[in-house]
Structure 1
């Protein structure tokens, strides 16, 4: 088993429960980690034998572009889509951070973390 990480994927999205958040948007940072068997690709040196991180990045960006009220909801969509489109992935761990959240204080980010295993 091996790990692929995409760190600090940056997006501008419109998630949040407040009406203003749906209009003005916010900056987000996403960290994604997947577990997969890398033995075949380690020998073959062939992209088709591993998980293409370009596809992982595209899934994250496309799902982040769909508005959700809760970060948990968008994270769950990302995880579900990864499991659906990439059968070789056994585990997904994701952190979604809203940078400078509108919570009435000096807070750099609010982050949710979710981890799921293929069932």
Structure 2
């Protein structure tokens, strides 16, 4: 399988369990990797035959705009939307990082990393 990566998507969002996080927000960084076959795109030179990184960026931005308490929830929903909107994606990985989290201490980031196959999101 072939892989496409979109790294360092920077966003400002309002996720977190604390009320203050929902009011003031913070910066986030998101990395997404998707796997699938791109030989048809190589042969045709057509965007419709590949896993479009513009779609990945849009999905991330749209999901990050909806407030949740847990970054785990947001990351899972981003992967679900990627599989829904991008039929060529067979496997995906996301690393979602909250930069400078409001915890006691000098912490650069906290992150969740999820890896999923398409079948994980199929209706049961």
Common fold by TM > 0.5:
yes
- CA-to-aligned-CA distance 1:59-115 (integer Å, 9 cap, x gap): 000000000100000001101111111111001100000000011100000011001
Counterpart position of 2:102: 102
SS in 2 for 1:21: helix
Counterpart position of 1:39: 39
Counterpart position of 2:122: none
In 2, the alpha carbon distance for the partners of 1:65 and 1:39 equals 34
In 1, the alpha carbon distance for the partners of 2:98 and 2:55 equals 23
Moved beyond 3 Å, runs of 4+: none
Counterpart position of 2:5: 5
In 2, the alpha carbon distance for the partners of 1:89 and 1:66 equals 23
* Ranges in structure 2 where 5+ consecutive residues have no aligned partner: 120-124
* Ranges in structure 1 where 5+ consecutive residues have no aligned partner: none
Q: How many residues align?
A: 119
TM-score normalised according to structure 2 size = 0.94
